[in-house]
Amino acid sequence: MAHISDLIATDIESYLAAHEQKELLRFITCGSVDDGKSTLIGRMLYESHMLFDDHLAALEADSKRVGTQDGEIDFALLVDGLAAEREQGITIDVAYRFFSTEKRKYIVADTPGHEEYTRNMATGASTADVAIILVDASQGILTQTRRHSFIVSMVGVKRIILAVNKLDLVDYSQEVFDSILADYSRFADDALALDAITAVPISALKGDNIVGPSENTPWYNGPSIMDYLETVEIASTSQKRSFRMPVQWVNRPNREFRGFAGIIGSGTISPGDKVRVLPSGTESVIDRIVTWEGDLEVAGAGRSVTLTLADEIDISRGDIITTADNPCGSADQFQTRILWMDENAMMPGRQYLFKANTQTTSMTLGQLKHRIDVNTLEELPTKVLEMNEIGVCNISLSSRIAFDSYDEDPTMGGFIIVDRMTNNTVGMGLIDFALRRADNIHWQSMDVTKESRAQQKSQRPRLVWFTGLSGSGKSSIANILEKKLQAMGRHTISLDGDNIRHGLNRDLGFTKADRVENIRRVGETSKLMIDAGLICISSFISPFESERQMVRSLVGEEEFIEVFIDTPLEVCEQRDVKGLYAKARAGELPNFTGISSPFESPVDPEIRIDTTQVSAEEAADQIIDYLSRS
């Protein structure tokens, strides 16, 4: 084995190149807080003497380093250094550490155990071959142990090392070890789809059973942690799957060359192979496989390539190139498993962005079927998913995507959920299967169109969307506006918040989730009114910017007119015609906008009206003037 001092003097890239032929094993360490993940990683790096880490390079030159012969790094100092990284904020990301032995190269995903960083752990697990689940022998199986185990199983990790750590704190008791293994096995049998569980009694601090057998556990005859990692078979399943390559960009430096660049997600490809491009379904034949090192005769999963085709066909970023004889599916509605990662709860009915490989489209979350209690494994009814909760949910996309189920091909079956307003990743999901109704329901072409209906009425259909606090004057202004438009011979329809809740939305309350669904339904109804050629006047508090933007995108930017009735809260309370604010202040009306539930003011509405400065008549005239000019 090479020592750290050798690596410090050697260019890392050159060293990696020398080890190019070694097998690469990716693994993740996870478990609850203080189960000993950093100590275990530190021990493995220390014992293997093969750390590729800038932090340790700095330690090598540090005057406080405890030196030994051959330049070994003091183990306590190494672990202190790893712990110090967490204090410096590195816990917000996954820390990937690299080391090597004579047989293999390793990438370990070092993820924090705190519950708020579950998203980081899920990210690290998504590419792992093996998961090391640590359990503190003095604590036993904890909720985070179960949650992390469930997630690694969910994302397709089939082999687990159950590392029962800190055996030195319980006098290396076989009874404690056997009890924890029995508890975990019961949980795994009921909840996890695993190929194998290998339980190892360890003390990461003392080094027991990390790289070799320990005299402190004579009752244990199994492999050490490193023995297992050195000998476990690395499943090259990604190479055995059918060919899939998401197109990242189209490379056309001149008229003679047009290639499609990307990273091969699974399978292999060779010149002459017949391929199909999805979602269009167009077929062609591979002409060349181009790389910086030259053309290849074969390329497999994980390789960055540029493919040229025998035919000139339309391909763009987001398309998927697949084998023609076994292409992936194409659909726009799915059943999925979702891990929610955001502090704000997941809202069924709200629109998010769906991102899978290079494919991006709008996504609407359907009603949750259930959430999964990681402690009891019960499927519990719920309306929302809170942070770190896992649930099963149908989703609907605004356009068809190419896909495989996650269990068939993680490359094509995994996705992330992005908040449209903040652009933050708020969840991750796995596709179980496409919903058959996605293939059985088709958009019916009609001869009478929105344009012809509007022409018949001699008007331009619009959605005038009033938003503002209760008591701001929305309904009063909308009522006057419609009367004035009708007097001008315009064809109109009004949708009012209170009126709609007496019929279409009578089943909805005023929770955040119900408010989201309320506006989703109203948005779809408003779109139907626009399609009928009408001027639709909708008056709803609509407190969330995300839902207002959803309605805007639903009907189209040119037909959506947002009217913000910008009346101060204290003025709305003074009016309080319905006595609602008084009840809300008294705690009799929970989730009341402006008091116990937020109102997100429009950022850039088409029209802003301050009713403390203008009358309702003047406000209506102001809106009509805008309509006539736009």
Residues in a beta bridge with 300: 268
The residue among 199, 238, 232 whose CA lies nearest residue 25 is 232
Q: How many Cβ atoms from other residues are within 10 Å of residue 68's Cβ?
A: 9
User: In which order are the strands placed within the sheet that holds 492-496?
Assistant: 492-496, 535-539, 462-467, 560-565, 607-609
DSSP 8-class letter at 404 = -
Determine contact, residues 626/485, Cβ cutoff 8 Å.
no
Write the DSSP symbol of residue 387. T
SS3 210: coil
Who's near 259: CB < 8 A, 6+ residues apart? 250, 251, 252, 288, 290, 306, 307, 308
If phi > 0 it is left, if psi is from -120 to 50 it is alpha, else beta; for residue 254 that is beta
Query: Which whole-number Å values give the CA distances from 91 to 65, 80, 95, 187, 537, in the listed order?
Result: 25, 15, 8, 28, 49
Residue 432 CA to its chain's centroid (Å): 15
Task: Specify the residue for token string 């406080």.
Answer: 64
Answer whether 114's CB lies under 8 Å from 33's CB.
yes
Between CA 42 and CA 207 the distance in angstroms is 10
Quickly list DSSP for 64-97.
T----GGGPPPHHHHHHHHHHHHHTTGGGSPEEE
Burial of 220 (0-12, 13-18, 19+ CB in 10 A): buried
**Neighbour tally for 349: CB within 10 Å:** 21
Catalytic residue flag (residue 542): yes
CB atoms within 10 A of CB 625: 11
**288: enclosing H helix or E strand:** strand 282-290
Rounded CA-CA distance 361/333 in Å is 12
Q: Rounded to an integer, what distance in angstroms lies between the CA atom of residue 521 and that of residue 519?
A: 5
Catalytic hit among 284, 526, 542, 597? 542
Residue 41: which region, alpha, beta or left (left: phi > 0; alpha: psi -120 to 50)?
A: alpha
Distance from chain centroid for Cα 248: 19
Q: Which residues are identified as catalytic?
A: 542
